[in-house]
Amino acid sequence: MSIDDLRRRLATLTTAHLADACLRAGVPVRCGPAALRPVVPGGQLFGPVVPARHVGSVDVFLEAIDGAAPGDVLVVDNGGRVDESCVGDLVVLEAAAAGLAGVVIWGLHRDTVDIRAVGLPVFSLGAIPTGPRRLDPRPASALTSATVGEWTLDAGDLAVADDDGVLFLPAGRAGELFQAAESIRATERRQAERIRAGVPLREQVGFAAFLAARTDDPALTFREHLRSVGGAIEE
């Protein structure tokens, strides 16, 4: 399954669908921390991860962009620092000019007004006016891996993000996860349509039957019940 095919299919999916698909498939749900938010709400980002570890200078970003392909996502690791920005409008503009699909920053950005004008999807922990006032030694892994929250990512990962946040997927299982996400989306749409038509969700998922069954088997979980009836509330 090509990246372009996945990108087209993503048009009808959300990070929530894909996170539920990971849960269903037994794949770790690797969400970026909730504090990672879009600079411009309403956008969607998707593409292979291009990692870059920041040590105080933008040259690592330029080098990462130089080796990236159109449609890739620059994932910047600044250790989650909130005392300095590490990406400004020029780096975002350079990424956009190179055809990248967006930027995820485990840290802060600046030049918010200009970044919004560029229009490239950018997710970060927020903004601060000051740039870095340091120059640390560059690690050997500066262009091969990046950490976001508790997750360490590399070129074998895909980044996907929307207004719900940032999610990382293993590229090797993307086709399977997208198929599961599409199934979950279809079920949720049917359930929503029936609610609007006057059929309560409790009726659709046999909630009374679940409560009765749980009386006989206290260990029964709602998730197990949903699987038996084809519901899609929790995964």
Question: Which residues participate in the annotated binding site for Mg(2+)?
Answer: 111
The closest of 134, 130, 168 to 49, measured between CA atoms, is 168
Exposure class string for 135-165: b at 16+ Cβ within 10 A, else e? eeeeeeebbebbbbbebebeeebbbbbbeeb
Contact between 24 and 48 under an 8 Å Cβ cutoff? The reply is no
Sequence ranges of the binding site for substrate: 88-91, 110
Sequence ranges of the binding site: 88-91, 110-111
11 conformational bin, left if phi > 0, alpha if psi -120 to 50, beta if neither: alpha
Q: Per the structure block, which two tokens stand in for 179?
A: 């198929």
> What CA–CA distance (Å, rounded) separates 7 from 199?
34
> What CA–CA distance (Å, rounded) separates 206 from 15?
27
Which residue has 């299919």 as its token pair?
9
For residue 65, the surrounding DSSP H or E stretch is helix 59-66
Tally of CA atoms within 13 A in the half-sphere of 17 that contains its CB: 23
Q: How distant is the alpha carbon of residue 139 from its chain centre? A: 26
